[in-house]
Copies of this chain bind each other. A is one copy, B any other.
Protein backbone atom coordinates (compact mmCIF):
# COMPACT_ATOMS: atom_id res chain seq x y z
CA UNK A 1 0.00 0.00 0.00
CA UNK A 2 1.44 3.34 -1.11
CA UNK A 3 2.02 5.71 1.75
CA UNK A 4 0.96 8.37 -0.70
CA UNK A 5 -2.60 7.03 -0.61
CA UNK A 6 -3.12 7.90 3.04
CA UNK A 7 -1.23 11.10 2.49
CA UNK A 8 -3.48 12.29 -0.31
CA UNK A 9 -6.61 11.45 1.65
CA UNK A 10 -5.38 13.35 4.70
CA UNK A 11 -4.28 16.30 2.62
CA UNK A 12 -7.82 16.55 1.31
CA UNK A 13 -9.41 16.17 4.74
CA UNK A 14 -11.11 12.91 3.87
CA UNK A 15 -11.60 10.20 6.44
CA UNK A 16 -9.54 7.11 5.79
CA UNK A 17 -11.85 4.29 4.76
CA UNK A 18 -11.30 0.97 3.04
CA UNK A 19 -13.04 1.95 -0.17
CA UNK A 20 -11.18 5.23 -0.51
CA UNK A 21 -7.83 3.59 0.15
CA UNK A 22 -8.44 0.74 -2.28
CA UNK A 23 -9.85 2.89 -5.09
CA UNK A 24 -7.19 5.58 -4.82
CA UNK A 25 -4.51 2.89 -4.79
CA UNK A 26 -6.03 1.44 -7.97
CA UNK A 27 -5.69 4.81 -9.70
CA UNK A 28 -2.09 5.16 -8.57
CA UNK A 29 -1.18 1.74 -9.92
CA UNK A 30 -2.94 2.19 -13.24
CA UNK A 31 -1.41 4.14 -16.10
CA UNK A 32 -4.66 4.57 -18.02
CA UNK A 33 -7.97 6.04 -16.97
CA UNK A 34 -10.58 3.93 -15.19
CA UNK A 35 -14.31 3.64 -15.69
CA UNK A 36 -16.67 2.66 -12.93
CA UNK A 37 -16.80 -0.87 -14.31
CA UNK A 38 -13.01 -1.22 -14.27
CA UNK A 39 -13.03 -0.43 -10.59
CA UNK A 40 -15.87 -2.82 -9.87
CA UNK A 41 -14.02 -5.59 -11.69
CA UNK A 42 -10.79 -4.90 -9.84
CA UNK A 43 -12.28 -4.84 -6.37
CA UNK A 44 -14.57 -7.85 -6.67
CA UNK A 45 -17.48 -7.88 -4.27
CA UNK A 46 -15.58 -5.76 -1.82
CA UNK A 47 -17.69 -2.62 -2.19
CA UNK A 48 -21.20 -1.76 -3.16
CA UNK A 49 -21.69 -0.10 -6.57
CA UNK A 50 -23.10 2.96 -4.87
CA UNK A 51 -20.03 3.32 -2.69
CA UNK A 52 -17.82 3.32 -5.76
CA UNK A 53 -19.95 6.02 -7.40
CA UNK A 54 -19.86 8.13 -4.27
CA UNK A 55 -16.12 7.68 -3.83
CA UNK A 56 -15.48 8.79 -7.40
CA UNK A 57 -17.74 11.79 -6.89
CA UNK A 58 -15.90 12.78 -3.74
CA UNK A 59 -12.49 12.44 -5.44
CA UNK A 60 -13.65 14.62 -8.34
CA UNK A 61 -14.96 17.29 -5.98
CA UNK A 62 -11.69 17.31 -4.04
CA UNK A 63 -9.61 17.62 -7.20
CA UNK A 64 -7.97 14.21 -6.80
CA UNK A 65 -9.27 12.80 -10.09
CA UNK A 66 -10.84 14.34 -13.18
CA UNK A 67 -13.45 13.07 -15.63
CA UNK A 68 -12.94 12.26 -19.28
CA UNK A 69 -16.06 12.47 -21.47
CA UNK A 70 -16.71 9.89 -24.16
CA UNK A 71 -19.21 8.93 -26.78
CA UNK A 72 -19.77 5.48 -25.32
CA UNK A 73 -21.63 6.45 -22.17
CA UNK A 74 -18.97 5.41 -19.74
CA UNK A 75 -17.30 8.31 -17.99
CA UNK A 76 -13.65 7.60 -17.28
CA UNK A 77 -11.58 8.99 -14.44
CA UNK A 78 -7.87 9.66 -14.05
CA UNK A 79 -5.58 11.11 -11.40
CA UNK A 80 -5.02 14.83 -11.52
CA UNK A 81 -1.34 15.61 -11.85
CA UNK A 82 -1.53 19.39 -11.86
CA UNK A 83 -2.34 21.43 -8.83
CA UNK A 84 -6.06 20.73 -8.74
CA UNK A 85 -7.95 21.63 -5.61
CA UNK A 86 -11.44 21.50 -4.18
CA UNK A 87 -13.84 22.70 -6.85
CA UNK A 88 -11.06 23.87 -9.14
CA UNK A 89 -9.51 21.67 -11.75
CA UNK A 90 -6.57 22.61 -13.97
CA UNK A 91 -6.23 19.55 -16.15
CA UNK A 92 -5.84 21.28 -19.47
CA UNK A 93 -4.22 18.35 -21.22
CA UNK A 94 -5.74 16.23 -23.93
CA UNK A 95 -6.93 12.64 -23.71
CA UNK A 96 -6.41 9.77 -26.09
CA UNK A 97 -8.71 6.76 -26.36
CA UNK A 98 -7.41 3.75 -28.26
CA UNK A 99 -9.96 2.29 -30.69
CA UNK A 100 -8.17 -1.04 -30.43
CA UNK A 101 -7.43 -1.71 -26.75
CA UNK A 102 -9.70 1.09 -25.44
CA UNK A 103 -7.09 2.29 -23.00
CA UNK A 104 -7.58 5.97 -22.22
CA UNK A 105 -4.42 8.03 -21.74
CA UNK A 106 -3.81 11.41 -20.16
CA UNK A 107 -1.36 13.08 -22.52
CA UNK A 108 -0.13 15.42 -19.83
CA UNK A 109 2.35 17.15 -22.07
CA UNK A 110 -0.08 17.96 -24.84
CA UNK A 111 -1.86 21.14 -23.85
CA UNK A 112 -5.36 22.00 -25.08
CA UNK A 113 -4.93 24.81 -27.63
CA UNK A 114 -6.84 28.00 -27.02
CA UNK A 115 -9.66 29.01 -29.33
CA UNK A 116 -11.33 32.08 -30.71
CA UNK A 117 -15.02 31.57 -29.96
CA UNK A 118 -17.85 33.57 -31.55
CA UNK A 119 -19.00 36.68 -29.66
CA UNK A 120 -21.05 35.91 -26.55
CA UNK A 121 -19.74 32.42 -25.90
CA UNK A 122 -17.87 32.40 -22.58
CA UNK A 123 -15.94 29.15 -22.03
CA UNK A 124 -15.40 27.61 -18.61
CA UNK A 125 -14.00 24.22 -19.51
CA UNK A 126 -12.62 22.53 -22.60
CA UNK A 127 -12.50 18.80 -23.21
CA UNK A 128 -10.43 17.46 -26.05
CA UNK A 129 -10.49 13.75 -26.69
CA UNK A 130 -8.58 12.21 -29.56
CA UNK A 131 -9.29 8.64 -30.56
CA UNK A 132 -7.24 6.38 -32.77
CA UNK A 133 -4.47 3.84 -32.35
CA UNK A 134 -2.24 4.11 -29.30
CA UNK A 135 1.55 3.74 -29.12
CA UNK A 136 1.40 0.21 -27.75
CA UNK A 137 -1.10 -1.00 -30.37
CA UNK A 138 0.66 0.64 -33.33
CA UNK A 139 3.89 -1.27 -32.74
B-binding residues in A (CB < 8 A): 67-71, 73, 75, 94, 96, 99, 105, 107, 109-110, 113, 115-136, 138-139
11 further A-B pairs in the complex, CB-CB below 8 A; given A118-B135, A120-B139, A122-B138: A71-B75, A107-B118, A113-B113, A120-B134, A120-B135, A120-B138, A121-B132, A121-B134, A123-B132, A125-B130, A125-B132
What residues of B have a CB within 8 angstroms of the CB of A134 in the complex?
Answer: 120-121
Q: Quick one: closest B residue to A98, CB to CB?
A: B121
What residues of B have a CB within 8 angstroms of the CB of A136 in the complex?
Answer: 120
What residues of B have a CB within 8 angstroms of the CB of A121 in the complex?
Answer: 96, 105, 107, 130, 132-135, 138
Copies of this chain, whole number? 2
What residues of B have a CB within 8 angstroms of the CB of A139 in the complex?
Answer: 120
Q: Quick one: closest B residue to A120, CB to CB?
A: B135
Pick from B96, B122, B131: contact of A132, CB under 8 Å: B122
Q: In the complex, what distance in Å separates the CA atom of A130 from the CA atom of B132?
A: 21
Q: Please give the distance in Å from A107's CB to the nearest CB on chain B.
A: 6
Contact B113 A115 (CB under 8 A): yes
Given A71-B75, A75-B71, A75-B73, CB of A96 within 8 Å of CB of B124: no
Q: Quick one: closest B residue to A94, CB to CB?
A: B115
Among A67, A105, A129, the one with the most B-chain Cβ atoms within 10 Å of its Cβ is A129
